[in-house]
Amino acid sequence: MVDFIKIEGSPAERGYQQGEQLKNKIHNMFDIVFHSKMFSEVTSKLIPLSIIKLGLGIIGKRNIKNALKQLLPNQYEKIDNLSKASGISSRLLYGAHFIEVMSGNPKSLYKNPPVQECSMIFAVPDATSDNSMIFGRNYDFPNVLQPFQVVREEHPDNGFKNINFTQYPLIGSHMGLNEKGLAIGYNYGRSWKKEPLDFRLKGVPGTFIVQEVLETCATTQEAMDVIIKFPKRANGCHYGLIDTSGDICVIETTSTRHAIRRPLDGILAHTNHYQTEELKDANLPDYVRFKMDDMDINPIESPIRRYKREIELLKKSKGQISFETFKAILSDHDNREPDDFTVCTHGPAAGTLGSIIVLPTKKEFWVTDNHPCISAYEKFTLG
């Protein structure tokens, strides 16, 4: 079963409660991750771990704090008080959030980047068997992080009640649903252009923006306005949105550009590559490689192949799509041994850590704590 916490009150109170409830788990997570093979693969073996941790924290705080404090003060208050309750320095917490940014830096890490994938699929009444609306997402990330994820229910005293899926030390979230029936998820967007057009180190990571949308927006249009107009996005993200009216879109973003995708015939899918004509030039070129152990792949190959399979399966079931259809698609292995290129991803470095299906009109948030091919979905409901 996935870990669950409930927090409420002011931003400061919610941050403190998260730190209190997860204190030991956060410390354990940092210890395991910093001593993992994955972390050693992307850091210098010549530099002591203590110096690497210090440097990550300093760089993370320097690049995120001011923009977060200025633009998202509630999220800033939460991270400050999470630090106080957990006994983890705010510097290290900023560093944990900054990994989201630095792992997409075209100046450095594309020679050996941590794999970040993820898939989003949507269906609206034109395509479903019971006129329902469904939003599904696989959360794909380095395998070492699988034990450290949590469903967090938040009851802000100055915002919308929401439920979201995240990692223990994070204030931001990867996907969520709020009391108004607005759901948002995000896939990492690997952009190739250098600063300042499509990537910048200074700014707000996408997970913070996801959480801000959950607390402040009631509709897809309101969320679009926040995301598109946000002045200091750091890394590229593909934001998926759905509300109870059936308004669905994916916003492809880089740090300064954006483009919109809408459903066709009631279905929509998105992975980690830019599909709109406006942003296709931001995609990684074919010669960029990810190398680890005996693996040598182009990071954009998996998103392209997963997208093709997801659309194939959605089209095949169009008009009869149901909750069970989404479960089958999100756990799909394309009739072969699963790997880095299947929808349910099983790679040596990264895989599907969890899967989420949202039914906005029912306020239902279904989650697995591992690969959906081997895990049952647990239901959480926002009253």
Closest C-alpha to 89, from 8, 134, 26:
26
Same domain for 199 and 77? no
Residues near 319 by Cβ (< 8 Å), separated by ≥ 6?
127, 128, 129
- Using a cut of 0.75, tell me whether the model's pTM lies above it: yes
Q: Is residue 327 assigned to a domain?
A: yes
- Separation CA 208–CA 188 (nearest Å): 13
Average pLDDT, integer, range 327-337: 98
- Separation CA 128–CA 263 (nearest Å): 13
- Separation CA 265–CA 143 (nearest Å): 35
Residue 356: phi and psi, rounded to 5, are: -130, 135
Helix (H, G, I), strand (E, B) or coil at 304: helix
The answer, yes or no, to whether residue 293 has pLDDT greater than 60, is no
Domain boundary among 79, 110, 141: 110
Is there a contact between 115 and 350 (Cβ–Cβ < 8 Å)? yes
Is there a contact between 257 and 282 (Cβ–Cβ < 8 Å)? yes
Same domain for 84 and 227? no
The reported pLDDT for the residue numbered 343 is 97
| % of the chain with per-residue pLDDT over 90 | 78
- Separation CA 93–CA 83 (nearest Å): 7
Residue 72 neighbours by CB distance under 10 Å: 24
Is there a contact between 136 and 127 (Cβ–Cβ < 8 Å)? no
Provide the CATH number for the domain around residue 285.
Answer: 3.60.60.10
Domain boundary among 62, 95, 110: 110
Same domain for 37 and 136? no
Average pLDDT, integer, range 53-77: 96
Strand order in the sheet with 378-381: 267-270, 119-123, 134-142, 350-359, 364-368, 378-381
Question: For the residues of 95-108, what is the DSSP string, one character each?
Answer: HHHHHHHHTT-TTT
Q: Is residue 4 assigned to a domain?
A: no
**Residue 1 — very low, low, confident or very high, per pLDDT cuts 50/70/90?**
confident
Is there a contact between 88 and 30 (Cβ–Cβ < 8 Å)? yes
Query: What type of residue sits at position 31?
Result: D
Query: What type of residue sits at position 22?
Result: L
Same domain for 45 and 139? no
Same domain for 145 and 78? no
Question: Model confidence over 204-256: pLDDT tens digits?
Answer: 999 999 999 999 999 999 999 999 999 999 989 999 999 999 999 999 999 99
Q: Considering only the C-alpha atoms of the chain, give the largest distance between any 2 of them, rounded to a whole number of Å.
A: 59
Same domain for 60 and 149? no
The reported pLDDT for the residue numbered 76 is 98
**Residue 90 — very low, low, confident or very high, per pLDDT cuts 50/70/90?**
very high
Same domain for 100 and 172? no
Q: Is residue 1 assigned to a domain?
A: no
Same domain for 328 and 346? yes
Query: What type of residue sits at position 327?
Result: K
Question: For the residues of 335-356, what is the DSSP string, one character each?
Answer: TS---TTSSS-B-SSEEEEEEE
Domain boundary among 85, 110, 135: 110
- For residue 134, the enclosing domain spans 114-381
What is the total count of domains within the chain? 2
Is there a contact between 351 and 341 (Cβ–Cβ < 8 Å)? no
Question: Model confidence over 259-280: pLDDT tens digits?
Answer: 999 999 999 999 999 999 999 9
Same domain for 106 and 128? no
The reported pLDDT for the residue numbered 102 is 83
Q: What does R_g of the chain's alpha carbons equal in angstroms?
A: 19
The reported pLDDT for the residue numbered 191 is 80
Helix (H, G, I), strand (E, B) or coil at 154: strand
- Separation CA 84–CA 90 (nearest Å): 8
The answer, yes or no, to whether residue 80 has pLDDT greater than 80, is yes
Strands 248-253 and 162-167: unpaired
Average pLDDT, integer, range 14-39: 94
Q: Is residue 3 assigned to a domain?
A: no
Question: Model confidence over 163-201: pLDDT tens digits?
Answer: 999 999 999 999 999 999 999 999 998 887 666 788 889
Q: Is residue 2 assigned to a domain?
A: no
| Terminal-to-terminal C-alpha distance of the chain | 21
Whether omega before 303 lies within 30 degrees of 0, making that bond cis, reads no
Q: Minimum mean pLDDT among 45-49, 147-151, 294-298: which range? A: 294-298
**Residue 108 — very low, low, confident or very high, per pLDDT cuts 50/70/90?**
low
**Residue 297 — very low, low, confident or very high, per pLDDT cuts 50/70/90?**
low
Residue 130 neighbours by CB distance under 10 Å: 10
- Residue 87, Ramachandran bin (φ over 0: left; ψ between -120 and 50: alpha; else beta): left
Q: Is residue 161 assigned to a domain?
A: yes
Helix (H, G, I), strand (E, B) or coil at 229: helix
| % of the chain with per-residue pLDDT over 70 | 93
Same domain for 131 and 97? no
